[in-house]
A and B are shown apart, each in its own frame.
Chain A
Amino acid sequence: MDTNSKFLHTIANPRINTNGGLLHLDMQPTTSSSSDSAAEGTGDAKWASRLLRDCAAAMSDKDSAKIHHLLWMLNELASPYGDTDQKLAAYFLQALFCKATDSGRRCYKTLISVTERSHSFDSARKLILKFQEVSPWTTFGHVASNGATLEALEGEPSLHVIDISNTLCTQWPTLLEALATRTDDTPRLRLTVVAATAAAKSAMKEIAPRMEKFARLMGVPFEFTVIAGLNRLGDLTKDDLAVREGEAVAVNCVGALRRVDVEERNRVIETIKSLNPKVVTIVEEEADFSSNREDFVKCFEECLRFHTVYFEMLEESFAPTSNEKLMLERECARSIVRVLACDDKVEDCDSERREKGRQWSERLREAGFTAAAHSDDVVDDVRALLKRYRAGWSLLLPGEDGIYLAWKEEPVVWASVWKPS
């Protein structure tokens, strides 16, 4: 059955099934695949985008009949196991559905608890490492930030790196190795990790001994602290971090600032400034779900745009039947529901409202930071990194506010370096 016929085909008993908290097609094997879509060639390949946007518009207009009709159609065609269009349809449909039924918060909390129950350190580790192996999405930020941090702290004997990120310490082994092999006198390193989610907290119990052991192997005097008492990142205070005299402080925020509630972001940045760091490295995904949060359609479109790029990237980076890819897609599902179907503030839940590099830069400047460009050496290292992956990745250097990782010319991840003015 080609896509066109599916569009028109009426099914007497629409069946909506769930798996992992998703609405998707029943268990008929999906015949539609990317090859089908390609064969169409008339534009039906992007049917998901059209339907989804139409539905979002209908919601904004409160056109009840149209909403139902579109939701129903999407449900027929969507599948989290199909091609990219079907996946996008599935996950965005879920968010739209929750929005229509005002059940976003509940759905989100359910999705979170399902994840927590099903994830172990082992699976989280496997997931992150595999993702890093097939895509520079996260390693880009690591290389750029580590390079900038090392350069800024060169010559300092006592380092304190404060890590506020979602990378479960996968950034640090290469930094430890660099400290051990590059400089003549290996400095002491104190690493403080801020773990604000339950998943992160439990993972840290596993990660701490490993980091310590690895540092010992590298011969770097090492001290590891986890700050696990926070419910939300926004609650972070200077005292929590206990900076000591004589330490050179570097703050590393990877995928973290977006998890702070929008109104608290400036305050968190000020807290960071109050630590008097020598360097602050910020890495965030390049999307704007923040400035448009009052405008559902705009926000929806931006969300769809970003996730389309992301899903396509995942599709081309992983093997077709990869379990890790599926898990990453499900992570997106949660994020999409959170952004589109929930209120801005949900107690004890992260925000997920991403902002673009330009926007973060404004905030950082307001707080008294100046941008520092990545050095040529670091840029070279990043280029070398990208070479090690499949084609499609490139580096954009528009100005001094940071560098961008681009997937097929589309900027997707922003990495920047800041110093107190």
Chain B
Amino acid sequence: MPTEEEAATSITSTQNDAVRGSNPPVPPKKKRNLPGNPDPEAEVIALSPKTLMATNRFVCEICGKGFQREQNLQLHKRGHNLPWKLKQRTSKEVRKRVYVCPEKTCVHHHASRALGDLTGIKKHFCRKHGEKKWKCDKCAKHYAVHSDWKAHYKTCGTREYKCDCGTIFSRRDSFITHRAFCDALAEETARFTAASHSHTPNHFITSSLGLGQHHFPPNLPLWVAHGNQQSHDHNSIAKHLQEMHHQFTLDHPLVQNPNPPSLYQTANWGFGRDQFPNQNPIMIPILKEVSVPSLFHAQNQNQSCAAISATALLQRAAQIGATTRDGDGDKLCGLYGTTSSGGSGLGSDVELSATLDHEMEMYPPLKRCRRPVEEEIGLGETRDFLGVGMHTICNPSAINGWI
């Protein structure tokens, strides 16, 4: 993927060219194609793996010194004090170059899916087809590209994951597992199904009394062995056993202790907690901008209306999306459009999208994504981590429209 660095380079070279001629205004920003879908006019270059990975491709014809980048070579050549004629670039404006991956089985091996940047194709080749030589010793993840490893190592172990219920985790796996089982997750379902569903009746109402957090039975039933103490002959043992059995049914601490089940405390769904849609702390770890806290942490929201929160949500998402970098090996971008899912809960999703669709009217650049429509499963490109039916915020073209 072209990095900012590379983009800057290409812009600079454009400017250099322009300056030589006259004094033009700032050249228009280069329009980027979607990665892997190159400009059809571009020149396709296929390098062998060896050439691709060679570090000094640009060689000075005068002294033979090799450089990683063309600019560096140019700078160097100035030092040779060449006559003016030879200083000119050897040809006219160079055609845009795109590169294909040398690996035959790779999808980017074909010209139609060539990548536009040399560094990009180098990194791609390494990441996908190369040996993962770099290892993070904190978490044992491996990387093929040194800069990927470096970027990871900086942030490894520094992230904290916060669930909507307030618990903080330093480990991603325990965070994920907790999240899936957290009542905050269930609460969100309840909010949106309030109109259509009733709460699933089976929990809470069973006879199982939650034992409570640190419940130690205060008075242990004493089972005194009356009668013969010394000899534990069979009769007395049997009798003791009967006592024991008897004790269970009557004096079991639970029966004595009619605390309301702790489950009921979580029954205050949605009334005190106004965080809409309070999920997706998953956004936090995925985003590299650590300064932006939870995307959906509604600090002072007193909003009972889902529609208002959707607006705030979208705005925030756009801001974050704009500052997000993508493609550092990991699958970034927690937001994708949705695909379908299992049976239950569909009702809620449809409702939700209806509300959000209205909001989306106000923000045209974002494509609307229809929720769970069966045909969309095959698309595979857009997934909804929020469960709120938004199209990808990280889509670059969408970002242009925002900022």
A-binding residues in B (CB < 8 A): 135, 138-142, 171, 173-174, 176-181, 185-186, 188-189, 200, 202-203, 206-211, 213-217, 220-225, 229, 231-232, 234, 237-238, 240-241, 244-245, 247-248, 252-254, 261-263, 266, 279-280, 282, 330-331, 336, 338-345, 349, 377, 380, 383-387
Contact = CB atoms under 8 A, between A and B. Distances in A.
A303 to B, nearest CB: 22
A306 interface: no
Given A16-B223, A114-B252, A323-B215, A217 B336 contact: no
Interface string A183-198: 0111010000000000
A44 to B, nearest CB: 25
Max chain B Cβ within 10 angstroms of own Cβ: one of A72, A206, A217, A321? A217
A216 B345 CA distance: 10
A259 B223 CA distance: 33
B241 to A, nearest CB: 6
Interface stretch (A35-43, A218-226, A363-371): A218-226
B225 A14 contact: yes
B208 A217 contact: no
A1 interface: no
A130 B254 CA distance: 23
Nearest to B182: A210
A188 B340 CA distance: 10
Nearest to B220: A19
Contacts of A216: 338, 341, 345, 349, 384, 387
Interface residues of A, number: 81
Report the 4 A-B pairs with minimum CB-CB distance, sorted nearest first. A219-B383, A384-B140, A173-B180, A214-B180
A254 B181 CA distance: 19
B218 to A, nearest CB: 11
A210 B186 contact: yes
A420 interface: no
A222 B360 CA distance: 27
A212 B176 contact: no
A321 B174 contact: no
Interface string A10-32: 00111111111100001100000
A173 B217 contact: no
Contacts of B178: 129
A318 interface: no
Which label, helix, strand, loop or mixed, suits the secondary structure of the B interface? loop
B171 A388 contact: yes
Contact of A15 (B142, B225, B341): B225
A103 B244 CA distance: 12
A381 B140 contact: yes
Nearest to B282: A217
Given A68-B231, A173-B176, A207-B181, 11 more contacts: A18-B248, A27-B220, A122-B262, A173-B181, A180-B383, A180-B385, A209-B200, A217-B385, A380-B142, A383-B140, A385-B173
Contacts of A217: 185, 279-280, 282, 384-387
B339 A110 contact: no
B207 A117 contact: yes
A100 B252 contact: no
A399 B337 CA distance: 45
Contact of B342 (A13, A215, A381): A215
B380 A114 contact: no
11 contacts: A14-B229, A18-B247, A19-B217, A21-B248, A133-B174, A143-B173, A186-B339, A209-B344, A216-B384, A217-B185, A219-B338
